[in-house]
Amino acid sequence: MTMTATTSLRVWNANDPATLVLETSDGERIARELKEIGVRFERWSADAELPPGADQDAVIAAYRRSVDRLIAECGYQSVDVIRLERGTPNTEPIRAKFLDEHRHAEDEVRFFVEGRGAFYLHVGERVYQTICCKGDLIGVPAGTKHWFDMGPDPEFTAIRLFINPDGWVANFTGDAIASSFPKLDS
């Protein structure tokens, strides 16, 4: 993967998507802003070279120390990898799956080891768009309304950790709010 990206945070009034309240790419500021709403955000080392087509086992093996640290710290029972390389065919249904606002009964934890993707967090009267890039760890607390956008031609690798061995289970809110905010790469 070759994409170079910058981590950033944009915050809007949830009822007025045209009004940008905050925009920053300062990692410390991003961590502080997200901590205020209970979201874990940290910058970790993601320097392992992954060959094209690296499978889930290879990605987890390359980052075993980081994965084991999170398992020990938080008691995760399941780990998987979502990896999409630029030009992967038929990604639109995968993208669409994550674009509607939803919640989870457990924290949503992602460690980005390549590329980027955008988490949108709907907390109170604000929507926070966090563009996570290589080296970003984000932990969205259970019950937080959010959605995720990987862009129209995704290129990212993220390690996902779960308490529930069934993995990613979404409870969709039915709110169309996600359609009101800019998509990644729009």
The pair phi, psi for residue 43, each rounded to 5°, is -100, 120
State how far the Cα of 177 lies from the Cα of 76, in Å rounded to an integer: 31
Burial profile 96-117: b = 16 or more Cβ within 10 angstroms, e = fewer: eebbbbbbbebbbbbbbbbbbb
The count of other CB atoms within 10 Å of the CB of residue 166 is: 8
What residue ranges define each of the domains in the chain, with the CATH number in brackets? Answer: 8-176 (2.60.120.10)
What tens-digit pLDDT sequence spans the chain (186 residues)?
545 579 999 999 999 999 999 999 999 999 999 999 999 999 999 999 998 889 999 999 999 999 999 999 999 989 999 999 899 999 999 899 899 999 999 999 999 999 999 999 999 999 999 999 999 999 999 999 999 999 999 999 999 998 877 767 889 999 999 999 999 986
Burial profile 124-140: b = 16 or more Cβ within 10 angstroms, e = fewer: eebbbbbbbbbbbbbbb
Identify the bridge partners of residue 121 per DSSP, sorted by sequence position. 128, 146
